[in-house]
Structures are given as C-alpha cells and as structure tokens.
Amino acid sequence: MTSPGDTLVAVHATADSLQGSGAHGGEAGGNVFGELLHHLEDGNALETPFGHISLPQFVPVQIGGLSIDMSITKHVAFLWIAAAIVLVVVTVAVRRNARRDVPTGLGNLVETLAVFIRDQIVLPNLGTRGIAYMPYFLTTFFFILTANLLGLIPYGASATGNVSVTAGLAAVAFVMIQAGAIRAQGLGHYLAHLTGGVHWALWPIMIPIEILSLFTKPFALCIRLFANMTAGHVVILSLIGLIFIFRSYLIAVAPVVFSLGIYLLELFVVVLQAYIFTVLTAMFMGLGMQSEGHEERTHDSDHPHHQ
C-alpha cells in the first residue's frame, strides 16, 4: 500500500521528469502542471502556434516609495482584444439592424441579449430610471462575456481569472452604484443615509459600519468573478493530475472524460458569471436608489387620495 509520502514523492518525480524548455518571463513552461494553468497565469509574452510573442516592457515609474510597472502583460493584451471584439461586433450588429426591419443573424443575437438585459435586469431593479444606465450595463455584460470566452480558446488567457482585473471591474461598479444613489437621492440625503437614521450619539459606530458596507458589495463582485473563473481551470488541473499521480492508462480515461465535462460546463459558467456580475450591480444600484422611492410611497400612504 502506497503511503501519502510516497505519493508526493512520485508527483514531484513525475513533474521533474516532464520538465520542458523552462519558464521565460514568468510564463508557465517548467512542467506539464504549469502548462495546464497557462490560461490563468499572467506573463510578458503571448502564446501562439508559432512561438511566443514578447510584449512591450517599460521601466517602472517611481512615485515616492511606490513603484508602478506600466508594462504590457498577457492579461492586459487580452483585455484590449476583448474590448476590440465587443466594439466590432456591436458596431456591425447595429449597422445591420439599421438596414433591416427584422434583425437576423448576429444583429438578432445582440438585440436579443440587449432586450433581455433591459427587461429582465435593469427595469426590475432600477425602474425606468435605469434606462439612462443601459450603456454601462450592456458594456459590462458583453465585455465580461467576451473576456471569459477568450479564456477557453487555445492559446487564450482568462483575464477575468486575474483578481486585479476583477477588482478594476468592481471599482467601476462601485463608482456607478454610488453615482446612481447620489443622483437619485441627492448628495445631502445620501450622506444622511450613512447615519442609519439612529440617534447622533450612535453615529461614531453607525457611520463606519455604513461606509464599510459600501465596499463589501463591490468586493463580493470582485471575488465572485475571480473565484468562479479560476475554479474550472483548477478542477481540470486536479483531474488531469490524477493521471500522473497514478501513472496508469486505465485511470487516464476517467479524468479525461470528466475534464471534458468540466470544460463544457465552463461554457455555461462564462455566460452565467457575466449575467451574475451585471444583475448584482443592478441590484446594488437599485438598493441605493430605493430610499427616495420608499419616502415617496410613505408620503402617499400618509396622504391618501379620496374619491
């Protein structure tokens, strides 16, 4: 019977025996386990069937004791690719729909998704005032969806599996949520809401709690997207790793079949996560706007109309 210690030794021995050409510029190339996570790892080069394409590197900018590296990485490049794809696809779809009474093909797909976001996400959570924020929600959905899908293609990269990227998306969502609340309630009412409506003696306790709650929502958006886009690749790595742990062709069949199933499931997950990020942002923005509506409903109930 093999002990856990012997199994770990076997894993390290197998990984060492599968050493490749070595890692360059932070790229995963040292062994097969590193290669399995190449969609998630950031680096200074793009992977192509013809080799690696080095990306521009710049000298870090020093601001006081802070060093800021503005070099182009693989995930940055794929963010630009995703943005370009969204721009081209939406532009082509809009122009096609403008020439047709009934949308077809790509135009029909884009319009269907746009109508779904408007009728099933924005209007139920924000009401008619949400129409003004439709460009943001449409951009968020299509951009995250495209970035997620790019992580599933050969030689692609999961930029949304980088917590820095999801943090950036969450930061934009945070600004939009607060801007929507201030626009709906007014700055004075928005600041007064931070007191929680309690006695002034409790403000030193309530205000920090309310401010902290403002940041927990975008933090949840950041970690949710990052974790879900990372999980699929980690599960596939774990399944494929079983082949090298057991060193058996009989064991290899099951991990490969299950890995294919997980990969197909990820096709569903990439759409689902784009939807969840969009709908949660709409919900959080709606919560920030509802105070005004609540006061209006209270006012109407205090002064009913008599017929």
Q: What is the pLDDT of residues 58-103, one digit of tens each?
A: 888 888 888 888 888 889 999 999 999 999 999 999 998 888 888 8
Name the least confident of 25-34, 70-79, 216-225, 297-306: 297-306
Alpha-carbon distance of 44 to 27, in angstroms, equals 7
What's the confidence (pLDDT) of residue 305?
A: 47
pLDDT level of residue 234 (50, 70, 90 thresholds): confident
CA 304 to chain CA centroid, Å, is: 46
Q: Locate all alpha helices (DSSP H) within the chain, ordered by sequence.
A: 4-17, 32-35, 74-98, 105-117, 123-126, 134-150, 163-185, 187-193, 203-246, 249-302
The more confidently predicted of residues 302 and 195 is 195
pLDDT level of residue 36 (50, 70, 90 thresholds): low
Are 237 and 36 in contact by the 8 Å Cβ rule? The answer is: yes
Residue 66 tokens read as 């802070």
Average pLDDT over residues 13-34: 44
pLDDT(137) > 90: yes
Q: What is the largest CA-CA distance in the chain?
A: 87
List b or e across 171-186, with b for residues whose CB sees 16 or more CB atoms inside 10 angstroms: eebbebbbebbbbbbe
Alpha-carbon distance of 105 to 85, in angstroms, equals 17
pLDDT level of residue 31 (50, 70, 90 thresholds): low
What's the confidence (pLDDT) of residue 38?
A: 58
pLDDT(127) > 70: yes
**If you average pLDDT over every residue of the chain, what do you get?**
80
Name the least confident of 36-40, 71-75, 207-211: 36-40
Task: Supply the DSSP symbol for 101.
Answer: S
What's the confidence (pLDDT) of residue 230?
A: 85
pLDDT(301) > 70: no
Q: What is the pTM of this model?
A: 0.78
What's the confidence (pLDDT) of residue 52?
A: 84
Our CA angle for 74, 76, 79, nearest 5°, is 110
For the chain, the first-to-last Cα distance in angstroms comes to 87
